[in-house]
Amino acid sequence: TGCSTGIGRALAVEYAARGHSVFATARRPEVLADIVTGPNVIALTLNVNSADSIAAAIEKVIAMAGRIDILVNNAGYGQMGPVLDVTAEQVRAQFETNIVGAIEMMKAVAPHMIAAKRGRIVNIGSISGVLTTPFAGIYCASKAALHSISEAARMELAPFGIDVVIVQ
């Protein structure tokens, strides 16, 4: 998820270069046109804040590939500013994308991985989830929450052959 820029984009390009089938996702998949360089990279529309969008993307991946081996939960953004200046709406939006979106993606792929008795979920956290910085408190809190959720999911999904990894 979140392949339009940064880490998500770089991972999609690298996985493709290593010969893996990659379903690169973005809210606006046209921004991925330059990385769709061969048959092993497919651009899909995905908004992790929309249950319908998640369901449609997972359905397409399963229809095309038959399985999901790895989910890289990278979609997110950083709400910056002093904690006292951030509105409740901004806090909700930050957590909706960085936490709820990641959880919903894990819930969408887990049944397919459980059926296969294997899989890996990689949640892109941040050192900011462990080392809080001023003027980024809301972002840091969302990443700290992602770290905790990833640890719980790691323990809960291990018996099903699913690894959950958090990247800081």
Active-site positions read 139, 143
CA atoms within 13 A on the CB side of 11: 20
The C-alpha atoms of residue 87 and residue 45 are separated, in whole angstroms, by 29
Beta-bridge partners for 5: none
The C-alpha atoms of residue 1 and residue 140 are separated, in whole angstroms, by 20
Phi, psi (5° rounding) for residue 154? Answer: -60, -45
Please name the residues in contact with 32: beta carbons below 8 A apart, sequence gap of 6 or more: 3, 4, 9, 12, 24, 26, 43
- Provide the residue type at 103 as one letter: I
